[in-house]
Chain A
Amino acid sequence: MDVLLDNLDLYGPFFWTTIKLFLISGVASLIFGTFLAGLRVSPVPVFRAVGATYVTLIRNTPLTLVFVFLVFAYPLLDIVDLSYFTAAVVSLTLYTSAFICEVVRSGINTVPVGQAEAARALGLTFTQILGQIVLPQAIRSVVPPLMSMLIALLKNTTIAAGFSVAEAGAIRQYLSERGDNQLVGLLWVALGFIILVAVLSFIQRTLEKRWSVAR
């Protein structure tokens, strides 16, 4: 308990940064990932190829490497200056989107083809079919894997600690320099993550109940 109380000035703001990182890149990944899934099922071959290439490329790249690129290589290009926090959000979003895309795509595959065919027969465009008929059904069937991806994202935020974003993953290094017991400190960090994941699990269960479909 002492380790936590003596270092509340670390735990508070650092976990808050973790939560901010998670929320911003979580929302951004859901949007971008769904967009990518749209590309992958689109009738235009070029869009499908772009989507597939992105997913293949990013899924095969370790997240740390994405970070290294954005923090050490990207600035040399002199395009737009990113703060380290923004760079972390962009890295996490680019990475998580590839996985969200595949989850959403698998959800799209659960929607019977007849749905899309019926919609097309009514004269809806591709965007309308996807946005109004297919995606609403697809998303509700993939709530559990989608939430797993978000939980993975939450834990992946700790990588940002190595790239100048002071979040929960950096607490250990701070404790080490302050001379506090790191093992106890890490247990508190773990507890923090358990609480955050518990919240996500609760949201998952609520959504599953509300959105359950009788088949």
Chain B
Amino acid sequence: MKIRTLAAGLLVGALTLTACGKEGTPSGGTGDTGTDAAALPTYTVAQNVDVAGSPTFAKIKGAGKLTIGVKDDQPGLGLKDPTTGKFQGFDIEIAKMVAAGLGFDESKITFTTVDSAAREAAITNGNVDYYVGTYTITDKRKTQVSFAGPYFMAGQDLLVRKDDTSITGPETLKGKKVCSVTGSTPIQRVRDQQLTEAGNIVEFQKYSQCVEKLITKEVDAVTTDDAILKGFAAQDPDNLKVVGKTFSQEPYGIGLPRDDAALRGKVDDLLQAAIDDGTWQKIYDATLGKSGSAATPPAIQRY
């Protein structure tokens, strides 16, 4: 038995290492967090778009295609289907909607996976034209990149095992093991506010590794934005639940090169239009909305 457990563990380990297999694959049957193609809105590709004074737009216009930075391991938000190689989720749809507004249909888009820690570099170096991937707008980040949006308002929350009634909010975390991604804002908040003891803080490279440890009871809670956690809970509703008491405001923005105020204004316009005509709500309902919780569109903050 031990040997078999070991073999299974090794396999899981190997798969985690190569970032394939279990990683982000919707577990069959229990819950479908994938994108419901039928319910998704279609986006009208704008013709003869011009964004005066935008170097980024001039570049993508010249190339005739655009590269968008996204995440590939967040169910319901930005997830790469390992069988088809297609990206799906709320962030992906927002990215497509903006691309259509700029005059590019889906076939002209290349999605590139960019890790959280590499986002500023990818945008600054021009590896991606814009970035849509649970990117919280902060003043400090605005010194390196600029943000359109927010296009979604998330908040820090806790993911726990379904049968765990001892954790009901941030104030009940004392003595519990809490997991999140290395150096992420949520885990820094847990540390700064001493929500649990320093020895009980666990940090891995990916949320899916934390969720794995949560299921095997080596940690008691996974913390990050509710949008991300809802995606995982919807994948495995028999074992996991989101506590549902957010304790921060995380406005998600679209990351753009810092010097490109013209493009930022244009993207803000496109987001506003999608919120006004109901496209935003349709996107939400077909992706994150399937977790069962409702959301209202955020107010665009122009600066």
Contact = CB atoms under 8 A, between A and B. Distances in A.
A100 B190 CA distance: 40
Given A77-B2, A84-B202, A163-B204, A177 B216 contact: no
Contacts of B38: none
A73 B117 contact: no
Given A77-B2, A84-B202, A72 B117 contact: no
* B contacts with A: majority SS: helix
Interface residues of A, number: 30
A123 interface: no
A184 B119 CA distance: 15
Contacts of A73: 6, 9-10, 12-13
B136 to A, nearest CB: 9
Interface stretch (A133-141, A166-174, A187-195): A166-174
Contacts of A77: 2, 5-6, 9
B113 to A, nearest CB: 16
B121 A72 contact: no
Interface residues of B, number: 38
Contact of A182 (B9, B117, B202): B117
Contact of A76 (B5, B118, B199): B5
A65 interface: yes
A181 B218 CA distance: 34
A174 to B, nearest CB: 4
A72 B5 contact: no
What are the 8 tightest A-B residue pairs by CB atom distance, in nearest-first order? A179-B140, A73-B9, A173-B183, A174-B183, A68-B13, A176-B117, A179-B141, A76-B9
Interface of A: 64-65, 68-69, 72-77, 83-84, 161-164, 166, 170, 172-183
7 contacts: A72-B16, A76-B5, A161-B182, A162-B182, A174-B183, A177-B185, A179-B144
B6 A172 contact: no
B117 A69 contact: no
Contact of B203 (A170, A176, A180): A170
Contact of A65 (B6, B17, B202, B218): B17
Contacts of A75: 9, 216, 218
